A and B are shown apart, each in its own frame.
Chain A
Amino acid sequence: MNMQRREALKAGGGLGLFGLLAAAGLITPGQARAEWNKSAFDAKSIEDTLKALGATGAENSTDIQITAPDIAENGAVVPVGVVSALAGVEAIAILIEKNPNPLAASFMLPAGTEASVQTRVKMGQTSDVLAVVKVGGKFIMTKKEIKVTLGGCGG
């Protein structure tokens, strides 16, 4: 557990250096895969995921907007966008509460990248979708419920 925690911290804190190394060509994308935070993606509950991300106790905030439909007809393809007007956003993670593994995607944003990401996720059933944002070393989050009429997992 300690090791996993350490890796989670490294993934969060070491990115500045990592970006530099990658820019200098010292790290290839193949090695970058080692940064993939396994414990966070394998976590089965929101609490465990937040813990693995080092984001325990993230505070609710109105500075993040989730762009997503209120009702998704097809759970296999749910467009979700996260936008924050805050300056200095370092990371954005998208979590889906009732999926088998809540963490859907996380995005690391080096300085100078606008805090705006959009992607499409799968949702097994109606659930809250959480956006967790790391800004200035602190974690904040917001959530939105998306109703799913046809589940996208299983089959």
Chain B
Amino acid sequence: MSDPTKIRATVKGSDGEVRILIPHVMESGQRRDPSGQLLPAQYITSVILSLNGRPVIESALGTAVSTNPLFAFQLLGVKAGDKVSVAWTDNKGQKGGAEASFSAA
């Protein structure tokens, strides 16, 4: 959990591509430790992506999203310098986020 959330935003033509990598265990609650005890579920439930402070994607995740989830989104009509930020919350209340500016490809 110590690794920071990574976000990269690139302008491609009139579109922008945002890639987000969130280091997170994404424990599904279905795995067992070596002694047979169920490992408690811990997973990201909410990821909100904002462009210049306005939410553009609100995602809700379940346990089936992979460990260290990676997301890629396309946004319309962005230009270099526009700010994107991502904020996530998991089911235990842990939070994280990151911010970046669009750069020309």
Contacts and interface: CB of A to CB of B under 8 A. Distances in A.
Interface of A: 15, 18-19, 22-23, 29-30, 32-33, 35-37, 41, 76-79, 81, 96, 99-110, 112-114, 116-123, 152-155
9 contacts: A19-B54, A19-B58, A35-B46, A35-B58, A100-B30, A106-B59, A113-B73, A118-B72, A119-B65
Interface of B: 15, 26, 28, 30-32, 45-46, 48, 53-67, 69-77, 87, 89, 95
Contacts, number: 129
Contact of B55 (A110, A118, A152, A155): A110
B50 to A, nearest CB: 8
Main secondary structure of the interface of B (DSSP, over half): strand
Given A23-B53, A29-B95, A32-B58, A120 B64 contact: no
B60 A106 contact: yes
Given A29-B87, A118-B73, A154-B30, A113 B65 contact: no
B10 to A, nearest CB: 14
